[in-house]
Every structure is written in C-alpha cells, then in structure tokens.
Amino acid sequence: MAESYVREDIAAVEGLTSSAQALLHWADEVAGSAPAEHVYRNKEGRKTLRFGRGGHSYFLKLHSGIGWGEICKNLLQLRLPVLGASNEYRAVLALTELGVDTMSVAAYARFGANPARQHSMIVTDDLVGTVSLEDYCASWASHPPMFSTRLKILRKLADSAGRMHRAGINHRDFYLCHFHLDEQTLASASPTCHLIDLHRAQLRASTPRRWLVKDLGGLYFSAMDCGVSRRDLLRFMRWYTPGGLRPALTEHVSLWRAVERAAIKLYRKDHGREPPALAAS
C-alpha cells in the first residue's frame, strides 16, 4: 500500500516525483546526510531532523517501522502505537480544513502493508520566527503581559482546542510547548499560533471524554506556572464550550472537574510538589 504527496516548490528544487518509493529514497538520503546537531530524535523507528533546501528550512520525520515487539508493548500498556507518518499527515489536513493554525506539509509518503515495517515520512515547513508558548509565557507569573495579549492567547488556545475536539481529533501531547506563536501577528484580533507534533493525534467521529480530559488536563498542567488565574480558567471554559460559560458550569461541570484533577495529578508527578495557587486576577 502506497500514498504520496509532494508540493510543487520542493519538488522543483529537488527534482522529485510523486512516487512514494522515490520520495522515501530521497528522505533516506536527507536523513543519512544530516549533521548530528540537526537531528532532534533518532529512536523507536523515528528520526526527526531539520534540513535546508533552496533557501528554505524544513523538518523531516522519517519512520522506518517500530517492529512487532514495540507494537505489542504499547498495546499491553493500553496505548495505541504510532506506526508512521500517516496520523500526522491526516491530522494536519483535518486541522487546516477546520481553520486551526498548524504545520504546512511539503511532502509525505507511505509504503508497505506490514504495520511493523511500514516506511513513511513527512516534511513540514520550519516555523521560522515563531516561539513556543511554553517559552513565551514562562515569565508571566512574575511579569504579566498586557491584558489584551493575555486575552488573545487564551481565546486562541480555547478556539483551537474546541475546533479540534468537536471534530473528533485529540492530540495526546497537548501542552503549551506544542503551540508556536508568531509574535508579529499579536497586533491582530486573532494571532497565529501553530499546533505542532501531531504524530500521536487520533481522528474519530467524536472525541471520547477520557481524551478530552487528557488533552485539556495536559494544557492546564503546562500553564500552571504561568500565573493562571481563576478568571483565566473561566474565560477559557467560556470560549471552549459551545453556548458559553453557563453550560460549562452546569451540564459540563464534571468534565472541568476531571480536567482539574488530571492537571494537578500531572503537576504532582512531574514536579513532586503541589501546583501554585491561582493568581489573584
């Protein structure tokens, strides 16, 4: 079984065809020649690296198959294994269709029917000039941003999460570090904030409650050191929930209580202490 896509700009620069096998051969060559300092991950059948072509910077994720042993280990741990680049490719297309800021795909290929040995890759544009929200918001507890900036980012996060979840997509690694902000767009009503690292995303007709809790709990956990206030939480709940704050605090109140418990549990596990108290405003 084979799938492939290549964008015209990179195809022209590299002389690529849309053949899945040709694209995978090219990706193997790019990965094999990458300097060590450009390789961000190389284990469990996946290699992630940055490379440049034609004056542009890209990221390549190359999947070489994780083997039946790793598949069985994941299933025994009640975790769905990541078999290749297909999840990420489909998630990017779906989020783009929904109007959620995410990555831009320059090339994609998948070849092979054996899930343990499937060969696949995805190339995305490097988000040059952006900053992760984890870094951007790191000093907010001691140096709060302008109120308008705080509101814009909160609203953007709630809007992206809501669109994604209502469409049946969950991220599984939904933390501030996986949102990349283009600071030059902060002057606009809705700044650009790209959601990345979608290789573990799941796509269904609807998102099960447990995965809503995992995603939202992870996002809240990652923001706990950023001076989050009770009003911030209420604003997020209002913008995330169809119908606003009233249904969030009535028919959906059990969801938000579960989200809070999940976030506190993650914080205790990761930091070995209680999370900071909510900011005053």
Give catalytic status of residue 9 as yes or no. Answer: no
Portions of the chain given CATH number 3.30.200: 2-125
Q: Which CATH architecture has domain 131-271?
A: Orthogonal Bundle (1.10)
- In this prediction, residue 117 carries a pLDDT of 74
| CA dist 18 → 3, 107, 113 (Å) | 9, 9, 19
Catalytic residue among 28, 125, 159, 173: 173
- In this prediction, residue 76 carries a pLDDT of 57
- Cα–Cα distance, 134 to 223 (Å, whole number): 8
- In this prediction, residue 11 carries a pLDDT of 94
- Cα–Cα distance, 18 to 119 (Å, whole number): 16
Reading the chain (281 residues) residue by residue, the pLDDT tens digits are 789 999 999 999 899 988 999 999 999 999 999 999 999 999 878 899 999 998 999 999 999 865 555 556 655 555 666 668 999 999 999 999 999 999 999 999 999 766 667 899 999 999 999 999 999 999 999 999 999 999 999 999 999 999 999 999 999 999 999 999 999 999 999 999 999 999 999 999 999 999 999 999 999 999 999 999 999 999 999 999 999 999 999 999 999 999 999 999 999 999 999 999 998 77
Tens-digit pLDDT profile for residues 254-269: 999 999 999 999 999 9
Reported as type and span, the H/E element at residue 62 is: strand 56-63
- In this prediction, residue 2 carries a pLDDT of 84
Q: How many helices (H) and strands (E) does the chain have?
A: 10, 11
Would the CA dihedral through 260, 264, 270, 274 be positive or negative? positive
Burial 114-147, CB ≥16 within 10 A → b, else e = eebebbbbbbbbbbeebebbbebbeebeeeebee
How many residues are listed for the chain in this entry? 281
Portions of the chain given CATH number 1.10.510: 131-271
42: helix, strand or coil: strand
CATH number 1.10.287 given to 2-125:
no
Q: Beta strands 46-53 and 56-63: pairing type?
A: antiparallel
